[in-house]
A = this chain, B = another copy of it.
Amino acid sequence: MEIHRFNPPIRTLMGPGPSDVHPRILEALSRPTIGHLDPHFVALMEEVKTLLQYAFQTDNALTMPVSAPGSAGMETCFVNLVEPGDEVIVCQNGVFGGRMKENVERCGGIPVMVEDPWGRAVDPQKLEDALKANPDAGVVAFVHAETSTGAQSDVKTLVGLAHKHDCLTIVDAVTSLGGTPVKVDVWGVDAIYSGTQKCLSCVPGLSPVSFNERAQEKIRDRKTKVQSWFMDLNLVMGYWGSGATRSYHHTAPVNTLYGLHEALLMLKEEGLENAWNRHQRNHLALRAGLEHLGMELIVPEDERLPQLNAVSIPEGVDDARVRGRLLTEYNLEIGAGLGALAGKVWRIGLMGHASRAENILLCVGALGAVLSDMGISVNTGEALSGVQKALQG
């Protein structure tokens, strides 16, 4: 096999992530590597922690990026907070609730599943019923922003119910952080994890997490050792802790952390609320365009995520063919449906740096052009005008 330098094509990334990475962040990745024990790197780690506290809206001291992708962040929460025999209520309304169940089982825990339809928020009433029916449960886990469907759940209400029944909470904020309000302290979330490649617009490979004092207490009081050495927070805390307590654990992914630092700095410069508002405004513009093209968002209006738009594929349209043409003809990536929604929806992301007016116009225009070329009757001009009006509104 003849192997040459890899020259990636220049894509517009409007799938479920990774999203478009800002050039400032790409440039940050290529700054010279320094040692993971270098005083300058230790200072960078402190700044990353501070910036993550801002992004998560928390004062939690234990706030840091796990040195691996979001699914390792999920696993970090479960292996630290679940011990063999523990009952864990998992609310599932998409793919990632299913992964939570897998995690509980692999920790030796007993998952109690609360099922909601794919494309809907988690129903607080069902959670309350489950809490009443399972008084021994100690943890409630759910997904804030279901990347597989575009549904957003009401974290504050769900956490409130869990606490009323003395349960800790684990919240998946992989797709929400930076794109829609995440308020760890105000909502009282005990453990939360996210990803870098969604609304933070950084490259994939890190998973920001945050744990409050109550979660840390549970970890300190464990009867058994955490089953993962790599993810054991008792050890990771020693590494990401401040000053004298810092001890070697693993070699941090230095350059990816340069990227995360730059991404979080950009979020701070824009301001969290401005970022949330931008995601919402652009979501409405995309929605206007898609509706003019005759497509419908599958999630009810008050449960929609602005950054991840699942639209039903028009009748008789070849899913893979359209996505393939968007990619080859316009270098535009949108996402396929996952699991139960495979072949039925497209997932269009407007995350972080990808949440821009020009991307919406490209997406609606390209979809209109390709569908039209495939014999579907659509009025692309009207759709683009709809986008334009919504952006001004």
Interface flag for A316 (CB, 8 Å): no
Report how far A324 CA is from B251 CA in the complex, Å. Answer: 20
A293 at interface, CB cutoff 8 A:
no
* Among A121-129, A260-268, A365-373, A377-385, the stretch in contact with B: A260-268
Out of B26, B35, B204, which one reaches A252, CB within 8 Å?
Answer: B204
- Is the Cβ of B1 less than 8 Å from the Cβ of A47? yes
Main secondary structure of the interface of A (DSSP, over half): loop
Could you say which of A63-71, A158-166, A278-286 contacts chain B? A63-71
Which single member of B11, B33, B40, B103 contacts A34 (CB below 8 Å)? B11
Question: What residues of chain B lie closer than 8 Å to A20, measured between beta carbons?
Answer: 33
User: A236-259, CB under 8 A of B: which get 1 and which 0?
Assistant: 000000000000111111111011
Which B residue's beta carbon lies closest to that of A251? B204
Asked if A203 lies at the interface with its beta carbon under 8 angstroms from chain B, I say yes
Q: Does A139 contact B (CB under 8 A)?
A: no
Q: Does A3 contact B (CB under 8 A)?
A: yes
Quick one: closest B residue to A30, CB to CB? B30
Which chain B residues lie closer than 8 Å to A197 at the CB level? Answer: 33, 251
Instruction: Indicate whether A225 sits within 8 Å of B36 (C-beta atoms), given known contacts A67-B205, A203-B254.
Output: no
Q: Is the CB of A32 within 8 A of B36?
A: no
CB pair B205–A205 under 8 Å, yes or no, is yes
Residues 1-29 of chain A, each 1 if its beta carbon lies under 8 Å from chain B, else 0? 10111111111010101101100001111
Contacting residue for A229 out of B30, B37, B71, B265, CB 8 A: B71
Q: Which residues of B contact A229 (CB under 8 A)?
A: 71, 75, 99, 102-103, 106
| In the complex, A277 has a CB within 8 A of chain B | no
Q: Report whether A11 and B36 are in contact in the complex, using a CB–CB cutoff of 8 Å.
A: no
The verdict on A157 contacting chain B, using a C-beta distance below 8 Å, is: no
How distant is the Cα of A32 from the Cα of B353 in the complex, in angstroms?
13
Q: Nearest chain B CB to A153's CB is how many angstroms away?
A: 22
| A388 on the B face (CB < 8 A) | no
Asked if A145 is at the interface (CB within 8 A of a chain B CB), the reply is: no
B5 touches A265 (CB 8 A): yes
Option from B70, B249, B255 in Cβ contact (under 8 Å) with A203: B255
Chain B residues in 8 Å Cβ range of A61: none
In the assembled complex, the Cα of A254 lies from the Cα of B203 at a distance in Å of: 7
Contact A225 B106 (CB under 8 A): yes
Q: Smallest Cβ distance from A82 to chain B, in angstroms?
A: 12
Q: Does A228 contact B (CB under 8 A)?
A: yes
| Interface presence of A386 (CB below 8 A) | no
Asked if A88 lies at the interface with its beta carbon under 8 angstroms from chain B, I say no
Closest to A232 in B: B106
A31 to B250, CA, bound (A): 26
Residues of B within 8 A of A205 (CB): 67, 205, 253-256
A51 within 8 A of B: yes
Q: Is B203's CB under 8 angstroms from A253's CB?
A: yes
B-side contacts of A34, CB under 8 Å: 8-9, 11, 13, 333
Smallest distance from the beta carbon of A299 to chain B beta carbons, Å? Answer: 21
Q: Are A203 and B72 in contact (CB under 8 A)?
A: no
- What is the interface of chain A, defined by CB distance below 8 A to chain B? 1, 3-11, 13, 15, 17-18, 20-21, 26-41, 44, 47, 50-51, 67-72, 75, 79, 99, 102-103, 105-107, 195, 197, 203-205, 225-230, 248-256, 258-259, 261-262, 265, 268, 327, 333, 338
Q: Give me 12 other A-B pairs in contact (C-beta within 8 A), A6-B261, A11-B38, A253-B253 excluded.
A: A5-B262, A6-B47, A8-B31, A9-B38, A9-B40, A11-B32, A15-B35, A18-B35, A34-B333, A107-B227, A204-B252, A205-B205
